[in-house]
Amino acid sequence: MTLKYCTELPEQIVCIDTGYGRDQLDAAYLVRAGERAAFIDTGTYHCVPRLLGVLDYYGIPRAHVDYVIPTHVHLDHAGGAGELMRQLPQARLIAHPRAAPHLIDPSRLIAGTSAVYGEAGFRQRFGEVVPVSAERVIEAPDGFTLELDGRPLVFVDSPGHARHHFCVYDARSRGFFAGDTFGVSFREFDTEKGAFIFATTTPPQFDPDAWYHTLERLLAHAPQRMYVTHFGCVEEVARLADELRRSIREFSDIALEVASVGEAGRARMAERMFESLLQGLRAHGCHLPQAQTRELLRLDVELNAQGLDVWRERRRKASTGER
């Protein structure tokens, strides 16, 4: 028997549903080796009691957690990292070099995220963001390798979704902890054809060309599975990588095709993404009612539209030499 929000995967990996937003939206992973453990992604501040509950359930002393590893600083992945570190006396925080400053001093991160969700929305969704003291932070540049009690974890710089993103390769299970870099794959959309996947173009650092390149670098490790944050372990890596590339291309095309700007432009891009995803899901053999499908997609589509808007504006400025 396992906790109802945990799924045990092979090679001593536990997928934890953090409970953020709804069931099966946001995962954190516990990786074990010998007596030691690490968390990869943390959910938000509100999710920390659940992560600690998982340690209790498996009888893992808090002092046996060596590392907390947020894949990037978006708060559904890293928001709980500071509070979790406060509860884990021996842990080091492993952070992307671009992420580390924001976890040590989260003020800009809070301001930036409040701009997307609004002040009240921020509190309700993310609670607090607890700073991590600098001496507990280890920066992991591209190629960095960590040994979790002899289990090597290799860090790959992964721009595309965000420039402060790394993916973590676990040779033992031949899988990547991919954060958002292998897209979003909701279990509700699984059919006899397998998993359905799409890109998340969250503001402000979506970069399609960087993302295609990152995918090549991930695939060079010949992974057999991907542990995505939204949500769970997916296999059929080659097919899903093709579909993710298609999704990145399709969304960036939508951004360039929609002529209207501002609020109207974002609404039009969102509608085009809905149409494309609904059509894709029908072809995938998904028969959920349309209203339910739209609800499952709504937050991602809204964030995607904001991110595409920021991206096309950045592109326009670069092409006209504006700053």
Stretch of residues binding Zn ion (CB under 5 A), selected from 10-18, 32-40, 179-187, 203-211: 179-187
Select 74 or 225, whichever has its Cβ closest to Zn ion: 74
Q: Is 41 in the site for Zn ion (CB under 5 A)?
A: no
Helix crossing, 237-257 with 208-219: angle to 10°? Answer: 170
Strands of the sheet containing 151-157, edge to edge, are 145-148, 151-157, 166-170, 175-179, 225-228, 232-234
Per-residue binding string, Zn ion, 189-218, x by CB under 5 A, is ------------------------------
CB of 312 to Zn ion, least distance (A): 19
CA distance 254 to 257: 5
Cα–Cα distance, 18 to 153 (Å, whole number): 22
Minimum CB separation of residue 63 from Zn ion in Å reads 30
Reading the block at residue 5, the tokens are 């929000």
Task: Say how many Å lie between the first and final Cα of the chain, rounded.
Answer: 57
- Should residue 74 be labelled a site residue for Zn ion when binding is judged by CB under 5 A? yes
**Applying CB under 5 A, does 180 fall inside the site for Zn ion?**
yes
Helices (H), the chain: 48-58, 75-78, 81-87, 100-104, 107-117, 119-126, 208-219, 237-257, 262-283, 290-320
Nearer to Zn ion among residue 32 and residue 177 (C-beta): 177
Binding segment for Zn ion (CB under 5 A), chosen from 67-75, 139-147, 231-239, 241-249, is 67-75
Stretch that binds Zn ion, among 55-63, 86-94, 176-184, 301-309 (CB under 5 A): 176-184
Structure tokens at 13: 């990996």
Contact 230, 185 (CB under 8 A): yes
Count the residues of the shown chain that bind Zn ion, applying the rule CB under 5 A: 2
Q: Which is nearer to Zn ion, 180 or 207 (CB)?
A: 180
Write out the two tokens for 215: 């995918």
C-alpha distances in Å from residue 260, one per residue of 124, 195, 208, 311: 32, 33, 21, 15
Residue 70 or 223: the one with the smaller Cβ distance to Zn ion is 70
The answer for residues whose C-beta is within 8 angstroms of residue 297's C-beta and 6 or more apart is 274, 277
- Of all residues in the shown chain, the one whose CB is closest to Zn ion is 74
Q: C-beta of 74: minimal distance to Zn ion in Å?
A: 3
Q: What is the DSSP string of 227-293?
A: EETTTEEE--HHHHHHHHHHHHHHHHHHHHH----HHHHHHHHHHHHHHHHHHHHHHTT----HHHH
Instruction: Tell which positions 113-152 bind Zn ion, by CB under 5 A.
Output: none
Binding piece for Zn ion, criterion CB under 5 A, among 2-10, 70-78, 190-198, 275-283: 70-78
Report the residue number, 41 or 170, with the smaller CB distance to Zn ion.
41
* Candidates 20-28, 36-44, 93-101, 174-182; binding stretch for Zn ion (CB under 5 A): 174-182
CB of 161 to Zn ion, least distance (A): 6
The mark string for 259-288 relative to Zn ion (x by CB under 5 A, - otherwise) is ------------------------------
> What's the min distance (Å) between Cβ of 118 and Zn ion?
18
Gap between the Cα atoms of 281 and 302, Å rounded: 18
Rounded to a whole number of angstroms, the minimum distance from the CB of residue 227 to Zn ion is: 15
Contact positions vs Zn ion (CB under 5 A): 74, 180
